[in-house]
Chain A
Amino acid sequence: MTATGQPAAAVPVKRHHWIVRLTHWLTFVLLAGMIMSGLQIYAAYARFGERGGPYYAPNPFQDRAVSRTFRLGGWLAGGLNWHFTLMWPLVIGGVLYLSYLVASGEWRSLLFRPRDIRGAVEMQKYYLRLRKDHPPQGKHNPLQKFAYTFIILLGVLSVLTGFAIYKPTQLSWLTALFGGFQAARYWHFWAVWIFTAFLIVHVILVFVVDPASLRAMITGWYRGRFPSHD
């Protein structure tokens, strides 16, 4: 990068290991299937709370199922069987990805830590045009680190709340941790909308800010505007 903040990356750099690329796209497809089969399951009891209420709020889908177009399974048993099948490759992929981050040391460029707060503020200033030059960054800028750390934690939360709903008696300690069976259902459901919101912002940012990163996530090679300063 030059002093004016303009990129000078003509030489492709290797950015994503095949494990990262594989698990990224696998997660995308599997999570879509999990969400859709989950919406099918939700249709059987479209509220959160013990029989007779009161029900947890807010819930934009109180007493109404999501359109059939976005459901998978056809009926409750079909939804359950999809959900309890896709959960295996999804969790295995997640564990593989996290193991890779730890083994390769790449977690360092991804994990948001307290020392990234300052950089995150600078980055936000740049996006708000309060600062002209793009702050120096590693593989990811601090705001990206925050987003990716957050989404991994959301994934962990989804799996844990999922277990809490799946076996509320055998894992009653876990279910209690989330405030009980119905509360765990509620958080599990909210994770869906946060994932969906993340997906929308994530895709918009890829195309608006750094389209080259899409190719990097497919081929592994990056030839865009934001080379690492590491």
Chain B
Amino acid sequence: MQLGIAGGFASVVAACGWDGGSGVRPLLLDVSRVNDWVGEKILFSKNRLAPDYPIAQRTAQLPSYFISPTMPMLQDPKSWRLQVGGLVRTPLTLSLDDLQAMPGTTYTVKHHCVEGWSAIATWHGAPVSAVAARCGMLPQARYVRFDSFDSGYMNGWDLASAMHPQTILAYGMNDNVLPPSHGAPLRLYSPTKLGYKMTKYLVSVTFTAERPGGFWEDQGYPWFGGV
């Protein structure tokens, strides 16, 4: 076949495991950390905005997923609250009404999935930076941890990406209330990140000094996950 020579290389690599095995995989993950640094410190700009698309270009069906066996749904949506804490002056307990009362952002952007697909949708929400200002984030905070009620799914973010003006806690999608399939009642959204970085079904936002991991990130996916 065409890739016969590459196939010879494959058998060599297969000998030490497809993902690099115990010998090479740690090295690949070290390089991934270097790439995280390059992605955050060199390629990412806190002022650069993702382009806005016309509403007419929205994708009819935006795929979604969760890790629980069935779609995570709240027993009592009224009692849901977002806990904001960690390295802050004033820990907050916010209701959906509280978040919707804050100055909001709406944009229509392209969603990039790590799998290679992309789709366009409109998102409505409150900037994470506004929540950080409201709780009095302390200067020691370097990362943000986002937790969900989807079987422990969580993500850790670098502070710069979390404070980006387009990083929002989204309560609406395509001019409607956020549907359960996309993380109701509240999810993280940002057009500067790959889909798996945007925690759905949020329960808490925690500012930390230590780098939090993430559900997929701990299994080998790039931690920074910026686009």
Residues in chain A within 8 A of chain B (CB atoms):
29, 32-33, 35-36, 41-42, 44-45, 50-52, 69-78, 80-82, 84-85, 88, 166-172, 181-182, 185, 196, 199-200, 203
Contact = CB atoms under 8 A, between A and B. Distances in A.
Contacts of B119: 50-52
Given A36-B6, A196-B2, A200-B2, A78 B20 contact: yes
Given A69-B10, A77-B219, A170 B20 contact: no
B19 interface: yes
Nearest to B42: A170
A78 B44 CA distance: 24
Interface string B35-75: 10001000111001011000000011111000000000000
Contact of A85 (B27, B43, B61, B62): B27
B112 interface: yes
30 contacts: A36-B13, A44-B114, A45-B116, A45-B117, A50-B119, A51-B59, A51-B118, A70-B1, A70-B10, A71-B10, A71-B18, A72-B13, A77-B216, A78-B19, A80-B114, A80-B222, A81-B25, A81-B31, A81-B220, A81-B222, A85-B27, A167-B39, A167-B43, A168-B110, A168-B118, A169-B48, A170-B43, A170-B45, A170-B192, A199-B5
Given A36-B10, A77-B220, A42 B116 contact: yes
Interface residues of B, number: 51
Contacts of B7: 69-70
Interface of B is mostly: loop
Interface of B: 1-3, 5-7, 9-10, 13, 17-20, 25, 27-29, 31-32, 35, 39, 43-45, 48, 50-51, 59-63, 110, 112-120, 191-192, 216, 219-222, 226-227
The 10 lowest CB-CB distance pairs between A and B, nearest first, are: A74-B18, A78-B19, A45-B116, A77-B220, A44-B115, A81-B28, A51-B119, A32-B6, A85-B31, A45-B115
A35 B45 CA distance: 30
A190 to B, nearest CB: 14
Interface of A is mostly: helix
Contacts of B221: 76-77, 80
Contacts of A51: 59, 61-63, 117-119
Given A51-B118, A78-B18, A170-B226, 9 more contacts: A35-B3, A36-B6, A50-B59, A51-B63, A52-B61, A71-B10, A78-B19, A167-B226, A170-B192
A197 to B, nearest CB: 8
Given A51-B61, A81-B20, A200-B2, A170 B117 contact: no
A177 B13 CA distance: 36
B17 to A, nearest CB: 8
A76 B225 CA distance: 14
A74 B18 CA distance: 5
A36 B9 contact: yes
B112 A181 contact: yes
Contacts of B27: 85
B222 to A, nearest CB: 7
A172 B51 contact: yes
A185 B120 CA distance: 17
A179 to B, nearest CB: 13
A81 B19 contact: yes
A199 B7 CA distance: 14
B20 to A, nearest CB: 7
Given A52-B61, A85-B28, A170 B227 contact: yes
